[in-house]
């Protein structure tokens, strides 16, 4: 049996939805949103009207409960489950809730009281400190009005800056479905001859060291320019964190260096299981720091990693940003593991044949993490804050088990404001980029190098 309050709330919610955010009665002219949280105990969605303050890139809501002695149920819900849904009327979005503390909370509270003295009256009625929550938008999920009707609805409620932020975030992701004549079978045939012996370096390959780095690895260049002039492609190879083929990796680094038009340094990082996280991670960070110390411009440095190496370069970004180190100008992760919880659907249901399976991935997780948490950054990059990272070209095969790891990471990074291009190579399995080393080179490998050059 419902209570009069529940009935009243339902009436407000229905009116809000029917009139795209406008309601009458006691809330006429008020700034309201509908906030849907996940029940802390039940796990079920719970929707309630909430007053808000506009901010340029977030919404601020106040858990007043009309001045009651207890925080409202929705506040307990979002503390337990911070991802919420917000209906503004004109549009609906997903957001992450953060309870404000200290000076930031007090500053927002003062703004709220200045805009509506009723908030101060609520605080006088209760002994609790009324919480203030910032809702940081992740993505727009639905637009309820045509574009030409949005401005008026947004301006009058102070939502226009937030809408601009959301649209900018959405525009940060560009997805390309890369197609061509190659199939899994033609790729396999091209790769079958690669591992009979490492391909020789072409005659224009320069392997001289321009300077020594404090970590093992090898230089290769075909540009004829210095690292200080051209920048450096810092290359982290694949191999599940525990395998290496140095001559193949140097040949790969040569082709990448040629496509990027700058010297490449192939990092020979320490391998699992003897060296678990964060040993290889720390070596990559040290290599990059040393490049900067030698005068290599951060903005001309490219992080390039494939498979395990792609995970390493994404991990390193978290650490470098936290330490205040200038970030590289561009990042190219090819088929990274971005979520070591191994919960993404494509792991168990790749669109086609792939050599990487759940069994292989679980082995990699065990060997590399050595018992450390699998749901935290930097080791599991998608679980960290992605705001402020460099522009990225995320590359993945359309048939591989790690398709979702790449796709979801690209979406999350773009949602955090990062400029991301996602290239999905249709019909291709994990590690398809190794076809760069094949002779004759299949079309997919030529396309890969051409797209890398064009993107850079």
- Is residue 430 flagged as an active site residue? yes
- Catalytic residue, chosen from 307, 335, 346, 406, is 307
Residue 261 phi, psi dihedral angles, 5° rounding = 70, 35
Looking at the domain covering 4-166, what would its CATH class be? mainly beta
At 269-288, the pLDDT tens digits run: 999 999 999 999 999 999 99
CA distance 222 to 276: 34
Catalytic residue among 255, 281, 383, 430: 430
* Angle made by CA atoms 445, 449, 454, in degrees to the nearest 5: 145
Chain segment 202-246, per-residue pLDDT in tens: 999 999 999 999 999 999 999 999 999 999 999 999 999 999 999
From residue 62, alpha-carbon distances to 84, 157, 259, 325 in Å are 15, 17, 53, 36
Provide the residue ranges of all domains of the chain, joining segments of one domain with +: 4-166, 173-455
Selected catalytic residue, list 400, 406, 411, 433: 400
Q: What is the pTM of this model?
A: 0.67
307 classed as catalytic: yes
Q: Which fold has domain 173-455?
A: Rossmann fold (3.40.50)
Tell me what pLDDT residue 323 has. Answer: 93
- Please state, in angstroms and rounded to a whole number, the distance separating the CA atoms of residues 291 and 222: 19
How do residues 41-63 score in pLDDT, each as one tens digit? 888 899 999 988 888 778 899 99
């Amino acid at each position: 049996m419902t209570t009069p309050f529940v009935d009243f709330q339902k009436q407000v919610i229905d009116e809000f939805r029917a009139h795209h955010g406008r309601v009458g009665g006691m809330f006429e002219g008020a700034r309201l949103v509908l906030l849907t949280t996940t029940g802390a105990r039940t796990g079920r969605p719970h929707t309630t009207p909430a007053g808000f303050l506009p901010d340029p890139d977030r919404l601020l809501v106040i858990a007043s409960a009309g001045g009651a002695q207890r925080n409202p149920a929705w506040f307990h819900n979002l503390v337990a489950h911070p991802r919420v849904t917000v209906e503004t009327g004109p549009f609906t979005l997903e957001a992450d809730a953060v309870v404000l503390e200290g000076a930031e909370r007090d500053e927002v509270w003062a703004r709220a009281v200045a805009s509506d003295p009723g908030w101060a009256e609520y605080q006088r009625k209760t002994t609790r400190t009324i919480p203030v929550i910032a809702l940081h938008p992740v993505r727009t999920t639905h637009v309820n009005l045509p574009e030409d009707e949005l401005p008026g609805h947004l301006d009058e409620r102070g939502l226009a800056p937030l809408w601009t932020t959301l649209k900018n975030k959405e525009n940060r992701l560009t997805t390309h479905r890369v197609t061509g004549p190659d199939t899994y079978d033609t790729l396999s045939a091209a790769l079958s001859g690669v591992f009979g012996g490492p391909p020789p370096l072409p005659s224009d390959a320069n392997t001289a060291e321009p300077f020594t780095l404090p970590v093992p690895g090898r230089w290769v260049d075909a540009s004829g320019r210095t690292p200080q002039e051209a920048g450096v492609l810092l290359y982290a190879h694949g191999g599940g964190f525990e395998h290496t083929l140095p001559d193949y990796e140097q040949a790969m680094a040569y082709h990448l260096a040629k496509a990027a038009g700058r010297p490449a340094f192939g990092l020979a990082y320490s391998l699992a299981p003897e060296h678990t996280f964060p040993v290889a991670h720390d070596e990559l960070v040290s290599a990059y720091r040393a490049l900067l110390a030698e005068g290599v411009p951060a903005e001309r440095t490219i992080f390039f990693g494939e498979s395990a190496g792609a995970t390493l370069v994404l991990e390193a970004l978290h650490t470098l940003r936290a330490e205040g180190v200038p970030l590289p100008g561009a990042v190219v992760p090819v088929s990274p593991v971005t979520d070591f919880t191994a919960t993404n659907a494509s792991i168990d249901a790749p669109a086609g044949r792939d050599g990487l399976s759940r069994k292989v991935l679980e082995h990699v997780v065990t060997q590399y993490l050595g018992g450390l948490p699998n749901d935290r950054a930097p080791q599991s990059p998608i679980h960290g804050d992605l705001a402020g990272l460099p522009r990225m070209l995320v590359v993945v095969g359309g048939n591989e088990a790690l398709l979702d790891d790449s796709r979801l990471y690209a979406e999350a990074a773009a949602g955090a404001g990062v400029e991301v291009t996602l290239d999905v190579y249709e019909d291709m399995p994990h590690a398809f980029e190794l076809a760069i080393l094949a002779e004759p080179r299949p079309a997919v490998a030529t396309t890969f190098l051409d797209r890398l050059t064009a993107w850079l």
